[in-house]
């Protein structure tokens, strides 16, 4: 793990050095931050001194530097110096010119902003979708020239002089660089910039430290070390950086957790039990995935190895590559071409990220495919949610990652009940999960011929790629084939997942005994599962049908499916906002537009945002009408958070099974150096200043999701305790999806129901939180929302609570 992490770090550093972007490395960033203040002060003193005296060899730079904030000049200077700091053959003249050019760009863009703010902001909004700084600069400079922005460029001599002064001041006050004279030809000597020996020693030391703390965490070949206190558990070796039981840097909090360690045995045992589960790489799925990767076949989370081709030039018909010289005088045609090209650039960037992730998953799977068992050490976040420490390939990974993992120790399928749960899982990962459990089993039986053909040759019929989770469905096809071949007694190792129904709303409905929310989230028995996402979609559609607005008619034509409303509903219990709802709907439209089968496209690209905004307000109103109690609970939690934060206290509570939780988002005072152009559009370097005060906005918005997450963490931990009593030992646990071998699925379902009822029965967790917080407050907290009459014991009879 240490070696792989160090190798990747060195590769990133080598790439940054080659591109002269060392200021963005793990050692470049602290150099820049530490040098800004002293250099800015030196520039300020230089301007003041020359302004009074009006003479000196550096005076030529005075009229130029006095136009800037000293921090801006310092930032540009030190960034330019650090970019390429390891290259000892950097001409001082070249670096000086680079500094002067950036300073002139800043002046020109400021002039653009002052003289034509509307156009400037329009271009900036358009450029936000591009991350290529050279392209951004070129576009702004061309626009400034075209619209005759009043700006006088510096002469070459004066520009070089300004850059020289900046470099010399940096050398004098930071001690980071030297500027020796070197012979470059028989008659010419030039100054070069090179790091001091002290700086290079520090850089080398820093890189060694970064290598030490940058391991790529991998699975283990033996059961992980049991957690015995907050600082000991997981990996055995001390070579890599130690991990903690709870992911936090708050040492007083960890000390308090250690003090309470003996009061949270079920929390600790749950984590130890999860990480003791052995796993095995599915070679059948790996073989198909590697074939798809080699052939460039894009399937779900396995993207194509090729980028999407750029749209061809409307003049010459060629796909642009590098500099493109065609002149397009049709403004509308040019705008459309650029917009389409930018959309392709953006999508290719996303594909590249997914490609890296997929490559890492396949690399790890290939590395461990011959091991009898591998293990994933786990720890918790501060809310009590469990997470695996290894990266990329793990039981909480994406569809591809999950499909590659089976339990190392399975259990035999001995009866129709266990076989039925295996079938239910298969129907679920295909997407046939909005029907009764019997109908899901029947669906597998009706499609068994196709399932078996898929297992025999996945490439003869790519039906499986149409599944909601195609890679997990493929794994099911292989498992079902093996079961059909061997019959009862077959040892099944496939994790059968039981998924919650909008789990955040389930918790709010249970804690408030809300029968309406309970019905919508399957806390109550029913013949078929309730589908709150479809319910919200239906309510929204009804609102649209009563409207004469053009956008309403367009949406009715386009269709408001449960996919439109799913993410807005899911985020609502976690301090979701109308703005986030609009963004998700906008993303949905773009995703639908990218599908080749979609014929109806009622909006042009620039009309998508207004269409999303229109629908978002209707979706949000429909959610409000459906989950009233959850809204009341969220509002109460936010009020309580505001009162506690006003008193200057962090928010703490203890979960029903003993985990001490502390929410403390500290405020940070920041010195912000903002240029007109940079990382995206603005180039911001934020220098954090220690501040013990709390961030009111984050404290208020954070409490509803964090409180609910602490409850779902407690439910999972309590479920494991019940499941172990039933003899279950293999667990695939995500936050709202619990998995076990098919033979144990029925017992796991009962265990998690008993745990959920136990969590809330005879307990008002909001009232408990209120009483705890009130102890530190002068003013009276508002009363908690009234509880309804939901009978929690009905959860024990609900087939679809988790299914």
381 classed as catalytic? no
Element (H, E) at 232: strand 232-234
- Give the CA angle between residues 390, 264, 636 to the nearest 5°: 90
Report the alpha-carbon distance of residue 28 to residue 9 in Å, rounded.
14
- Tokens representing residue 32 in the block: 């820049």
* C-alpha gyration radius of the chain: 30
Place of tokens 């959920």: 756
Axis-axis angle for helices 470-486, 448-456 (nearest 10): 100
Torsion of CA 83, 87, 90, 96, to 10 degrees: 20
Q: How many CA atoms lie within 13 A of 595 on its CB side?
A: 11
Three-state secondary structure string covering 705-736: HHHHHHHHHHHHHHHHHHHHHCCCCCCEEECC
Backbone angles phi and psi of 790, in degrees to 5? -65, 130
- Give the CA angle between residues 545, 550, 555 to the nearest 5°: 55
Axis-axis angle for helices 532-545, 608-626 (nearest 10): 120
320-357: b (≥16 Cβ within 10 Å) or e: eeeeeeeebeeeeeeeebebebbbebeebeebeebbeb
DSSP 145-196: HHTT----PPPHHHHHHHHHHHHHHHHHHH--EE--EEE-SSS-EEEEEEE-
Q: How many other C-beta atoms can be found within 10 angstroms of the C-beta atom of residue 591?
A: 11
Report the alpha-carbon distance of residue 803 to residue 795 in Å, rounded.
12
Closest C-alpha among 675, 586, 680, 644 to residue 774: 644
Report the alpha-carbon distance of residue 586 to residue 564 in Å, rounded.
9
Going by C-beta distance under 8 Å and a sequence separation of 6 or more, which residues neighbour residue 446?
A: none
Residue of 712, 736, 746, 758 marked catalytic? 736
Backbone angles phi and psi of 234, in degrees to 5? 85, -115
User: Which sequence positions are flagged as catalytic?
Assistant: 736
């Amino acid at each position: 793990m240490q070696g792989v992490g160090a190798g990747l770090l060195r590769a990133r550093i080598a790439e940054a050095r080659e591109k002269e972007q060392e200021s963005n490395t793990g050692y470049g960033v602290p150099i820049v931050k530490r040098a800004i203040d002293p250099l800015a002060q030196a520039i300020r003193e230089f301007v003041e001194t020359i302004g009074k005296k009006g003479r000196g060899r550096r005076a030529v730079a005075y009229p130029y530097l006095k136009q800037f904030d000293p921090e801006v000049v310092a930032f540009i200077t030190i960034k330019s110096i650090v970019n390429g700091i390891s290259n000892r053959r950097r001409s001082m003249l070249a670096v000086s010119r680079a500094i002067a050019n950036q300073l002139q760009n800043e002046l020109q863009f400021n002039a653009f902003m002052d003289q034509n703010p509307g156009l400037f902001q329009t271009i900036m909004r358009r450029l936000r979708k591009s991350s290529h700084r050279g392209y951004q600069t070129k576009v702004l400079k061309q626009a400034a020239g075209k619209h005759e922005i009043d700006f006088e460029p510096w002469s070459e001599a004066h520009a070089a002089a300004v850059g020289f002064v900046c470099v010399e001041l940096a050398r004098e006050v930071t001690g980071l660089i030297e500027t020796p004279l070197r012979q470059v030809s028989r008659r010419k000597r030039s100054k070069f910039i090179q790091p001091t020996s002290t700086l290079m020693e520090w850089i080398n030391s820093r890189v060694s430290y970064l290598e030490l703390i940058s391991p790529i965490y991998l699975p283990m070949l033996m059961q992980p070390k049991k957690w015995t206190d907050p600082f000991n558990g997981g990996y055995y070796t001390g070579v890599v950086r130690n991990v903690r039981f709870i992911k936090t840097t708050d040492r007083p909090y960890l000390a308090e957790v250690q003090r309470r360690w003996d009061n949270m045995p079920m929390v600790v045992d749950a984590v130890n039990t999860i990480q003791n589960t052995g796993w095995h790489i599915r070679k059948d799925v790996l073989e198909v995935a590697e074939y798809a990767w080699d052939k460039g076949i894009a399937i779900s989370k396995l993207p194509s190895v090729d980028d999407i081709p750029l749209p061809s030039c409307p003049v010459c018909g060629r796909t642009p590559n590098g500099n493109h010289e065609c002149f397009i005088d049709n403004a509308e045609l040019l705008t459309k071409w650029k917009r389409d090209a930018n959309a392709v650039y953006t999508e290719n960037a996303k594909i590249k990220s997914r490609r890296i992730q997929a490559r890492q998953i396949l690399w790890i799977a290939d590395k461990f495919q011959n091991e009898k068992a591998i293990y994933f050490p786990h720890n918790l976040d501060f809310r009590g949610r469990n997470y695996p420490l290894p990266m990329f390939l793990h039981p909480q990974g994406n569809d591809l990652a999950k499909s590659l993992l089976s339990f190392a120790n399975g259990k035999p399928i001995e009866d129709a009940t266990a076989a039925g749960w295996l079938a239910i899982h298969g129907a679920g990962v295909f997407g046939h999960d909005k029907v009764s459990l019997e109908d899901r089993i029947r669906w597998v039986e009706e499609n068994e011929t196709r399932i078996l053909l898929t297992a025999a040759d996945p490439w003869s019929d790519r039906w499986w790629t149409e599944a909601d989770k195609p890679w997990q469905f493929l794994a099911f096809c292989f498992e079902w084939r093996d079961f059909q071949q061997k019959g009862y007694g077959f040892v099944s190792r496939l994790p059968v997942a039981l998924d919650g129904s909008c789990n955040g709303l389930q918790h709010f409905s249970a804690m408030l005994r809300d029968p309406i929310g309970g019905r919508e989230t399957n806390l109550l028995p029913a013949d078929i599962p309730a589908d709150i996402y479809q319910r919200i979609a239906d309510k929204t559609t009804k609102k649209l049908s009563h409207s004469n607005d053009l956008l309403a008619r367009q949406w009715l034509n386009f269709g408001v499916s449960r996919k439109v409303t799913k993410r807005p509903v899911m985020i609502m219990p976690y301090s979701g906002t109308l703005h986030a709802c609009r963004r998700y709907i906008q993303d949905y439209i773009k995703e639908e537009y990218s599908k080749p089968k979609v014929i109806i496209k009622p909006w042009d690209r620039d009309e998508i945002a207004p269409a999303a905004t229109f629908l978002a307000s209707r979706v949000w109103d429909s959610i409000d009408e459906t989950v009233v109690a959850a809204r009341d609970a969220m509002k109460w939690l936010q009020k309580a958070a505001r009162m506690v934060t006003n008193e200057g206290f962090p928010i703490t509570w203890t979960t029903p099974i003993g985990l001490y939780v502390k929410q403390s988002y500290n405020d940070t005072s920041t010195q912000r150096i903002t240029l007109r152009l940079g990382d995206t559009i603005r180039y911001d370097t934020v220098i954090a200043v220690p501040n013990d005060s709390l961030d009111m906005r984050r404290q208020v918005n954070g409490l509803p999701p964090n409180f609910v997450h602490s409850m779902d963490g407690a439910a999972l931990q309590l479920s494991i305790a019940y499941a172990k009593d039933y003899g279950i030992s293999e667990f695939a646990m995500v936050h709202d999806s619990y998995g076990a071998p098919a033979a144990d699925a029925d017992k796991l379902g009962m265990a998690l129901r008993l745990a959920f009822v136990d969590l809330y029965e005879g307990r008002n967790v909001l009232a408990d939180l209120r009483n705890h917080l009130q102890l530190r407050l002068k003013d009276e907290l508002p009363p908690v929302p009234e509880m309804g009459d939901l009978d929690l014991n009905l959860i024990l009879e609900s087939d679809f609570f988790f299914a």
